Structure 1
Amino acid sequence: VRGIVGVMWRGVRDIPRERQSLWRIWIPDFFAYGPLRALIGLLVSLRDPQIERMHCVQQPVIAVAGERDPICPVPWVERFASLARAGSCRVIPGAAHAMNYSVPEALGRIITEVVGNVGSDESERLNGGV
């Protein structure tokens, strides 16, 4: 997505997909941080050339996508992971954007699986045989 309006629209589309309790945390944090600083932070993040820099990443990359995430949709996350030297993508069924909050168990299982595979064939593949 290009532009702040597009990202904000995706954020609005994400609201009903997240657990309601997330907003009781996020909204006070947003106002405590300040709307102007939040907007500046969003603009800075939009200018960060993440996609263009992925080819420089030498370490394994596991990108995790939420199946219902309108902010970072599955095709974008797959592309992001594919650009890394040793990247792979995992998708959490039914998850929206804030998967660390909404489905922490599913995200934790992926992390545990990846960390638990250190030294395995999968780990070797992700590390490029290193």
Structure 2
Amino acid sequence: MRPAAEVLCVPGVGLDAAAWRPTLDGLPQWPSAVAVLPGYGARRRPGEPLDPVALGRRVARERLAGRSGVVLVGHSAGCQVAVEAARAAPGSVAAVVLIGPTTDPRARSWRRLVVRWLRTAAHERLWQVPTLVRSYTRTGPRHLLAALGAARHHDVRAAVRALDRPVLVVRGPRDRICPADWASELASYGAPGSRVVTLAAGAHMVPLTDGPAVAAVLREVLG
């Protein structure tokens, strides 16, 4: 693995940089940034694509070109964007970390997505709600739902299989959106050395609710 020089995070659908602050606060030694995108912390402008392949190529073009040693970290549907960015700019990426990755093929329908979201929300921490409301309002519900609709049709398994480096899948133990068997399955498509880390606590929103624990995992990668 190439030496890591910086961290680039891709938020989940509807989220923005605030969702990463507790994690990035635990990585003061490394330069870090959050790639806010249409549907992922920003509103969509007319004509802007929302599918993970197009967004991944945008990240590769705008945030990875000319760089090397980047640890690319995705959360939720942002994992799908991160994987596509790594495919588009393999020479820039030292490692790929996927936190609570979507979309499990068993939960692509809106009904099953909602069921898994509700089962997970019951285990989330209430203090994060104001941050989520601000992020979702900034993105806009219409743009959020459109981005989620595009993400649920993307085959992240094929994207992971195409990478030339291992992936690290991280999840909270109470995450029903990314259950343990789905995390293991996705890691199995990665290059040799791909693995899963289940944190000691947390559900789906661990970059926000369990930032120090996520940062500890990332420090191992960066180190």
User: TM class by shorter-chain length?
Assistant: 0.7 to 0.9
Q: Give the TM-score, by structure 1 length.
A: 0.81
Instruction: Give the Å deviation of 1:69.
Output: 0.1
The question of whether the paired residues in 1 share the 8 Å contact of 2:174 and 2:202 is answered with yes
Instruction: Give the Å deviation of 1:26.
Output: 1.0
Does residue 16 of the first structure (1) align with residue 127 of the second (2)?
no
Q: Deviations over 1:81-101 (max 9, x none)?
A: 111013111111222001111
2:215 counterpart letter in structure 1: G
The separation in 2 between residues aligned to 1:18 and 1:59, in whole angstroms, is 32
2:214 aligns with: 107
1:44 aligns with: 150
1:26 aligns with: 132
Q: Whose helix proportion is higher, 1 or 2?
A: 1
Instruction: Give the Å deviation of 1:7.
Output: 1.0
The separation in 2 between residues aligned to 1:75 and 1:94, in whole angstroms, is 17
Q: Give the TM-score, by structure 2 length.
A: 0.49
Aligned residues: 116
Q: Deviations over 1:98-128 (max 9, x none)?
A: 1111111111111112222xxxxxxxxxxxx
Q: Deviations over 1:17-56 (max 9, x none)?
A: 1121211111232233222211111111101110122211
Consecutive aligned runs of 4 or more in structure 1 exceeding 4 Å deviation: none
Give 1 or 2 for the bigger CA radius of gyration. Answer: 1
The separation in 1 between residues aligned to 2:135 and 2:120, in whole angstroms, is 18
1:61 counterpart letter in structure 2: V
Distance 1:80 1:33, change over 3 A: same
Secondary structure of the equivalent of 1:26?
helix
The separation in 2 between residues aligned to 1:27 and 1:78, in whole angstroms, is 31
Instruction: Give the Å deviation of 1:2.
Output: 2.3
Structure 1, unaligned runs of 5 or more: 117-130
Does residue 60 of the first structure (1) align with residue 148 of the second (2)?
no
2:28 aligns with: none
The separation in 2 between residues aligned to 1:15 and 1:2, in whole angstroms, is 18
Structure 2, unaligned runs of 5 or more: 1-106
The separation in 2 between residues aligned to 1:13 and 1:24, in whole angstroms, is 20
Q: Whose strand proportion is higher, 1 or 2?
A: 2
Secondary structure of the equivalent of 1:37?
helix
The question of whether the paired residues in 2 share the 8 Å contact of 1:11 and 1:70 is answered with yes
Name the Cα RMSD after superposition: 1.4
The separation in 1 between residues aligned to 2:114 and 2:158, in whole angstroms, is 22
Secondary structure of the equivalent of 1:47?
coil
